[in-house]
Structure 1
Amino acid sequence: MRPNYKILIIDDNTIDQIVTKQLLKKTLDITDVSTANNGKEGIQWLIDHGKSFEESLIILLDIKMPEMDGFEFLLEYETLPEELKKETQIFMLSSTLDPNDITQAKNNKYVKTLLSKPLPIKEFGEMIYPDSSPK
């Protein structure tokens, strides 16, 4: 049986949020998707929702955002209680070509991998459902 996931998209681009939500829903049948417009809202979402949900959490995190970018989010995320970070996977999702961003993402202990926008849904599905292929 495939695990249930709750997804939190942290991205300041509304179009990217909509496209990612549709890809998740239509291809992987994931409908429990929330959004935050920057890292600050993402941290607040985690604090507000804590572990009030049963499923594992996947965060799709953009790098370049106003107010609090993806790397600033990761610094703040590190200070959160372990209870909030338990069973959470973070995938950075960005269109960056900056080698410093790529290296920083790959070297962060909380980041599972860096994916290019738009979300490569087949590759993502294989990562989160390694024992089954997407529908």
Structure 2
Amino acid sequence: MSAPFPHFIIIDDSQLDCFIGEKIIQNTGTYSSIKTYTQATDAYEHIKNSAPGPADAMTIIVLDIQMPVMNGFQFVEAFELLPEDIRSNYAIFMFSSSINESDKNRLENHPCIRKFYGKPISKEIVSSLVNAV
């Protein structure tokens, strides 16, 4: 029996980018659920307070870098402090419309970031995310 489709969490301060990402993921049909957050702090609180799920119920986090209050890297730094039984249920993929060299270098310091993608998200990218977990 194959593993169930992953859950998705989209974290982006742009409501439009959250909406578009949700629609694209829905159109692929390869998801169990989708949650969107325009504040990374809200997403972090949700993850921190959720009970660890079964190992085969992976959640893909689509994470924007440039956000107010808590940016993508601050989210990752907080995420990395969570217990392993929570972290192991998530795969983080960073997204940004522009990436500078210092951000690229910072990606290497965080092994929990699986890969970086330029915006916008597409059906092809969603397929590669699903295949990566």
TM-score range, shorter chain: 0.7 to 0.9
What's the C-alpha RMSD, in Å, of the aligned pairs? 2.0
Aligned to 1:51: 52
Contact 1:9 1:35 in 2 (8 A): yes
Q: CA deviation at 1:29?
A: 3.5
The TM-score with structure 2 as length reference comes to: 0.86
Unpaired runs of at least 5, structure 2: none
Unpaired runs of at least 5, structure 1: 131-135
Superposed, 1:116-131 pairs within 5 Å as: 116-129=118-131
- Tell me how far apart the structure 2 counterparts of residues 12 and 123 of structure 1 sit (CA, whole Å): 20
Aligned to 1:133: none
Alignment length, in residue pairs? 130
Contact 1:2 1:129 in 2 (8 A): no
Q: CA deviation at 1:35?
A: 1.4
Seq. identity, %: 25
Q: CA deviation at 1:76?
A: 0.6
Contact 2:30 2:130 in 1 (8 A): no
Q: CA deviation at 1:107?
A: 3.8
Q: Spell out, residue by residue over 1:73-120, the C-alpha distance to the aligned partner (whole angstroms, 9 max, x if none).
A: 111111111111013110001112312112212442110000111113
The TM-score with structure 1 as length reference comes to: 0.85
Superposed, 1:77-88 pairs within 5 Å as: 77-88=79-90
Asked if 1:64 is matched to 2:66, the reply is yes
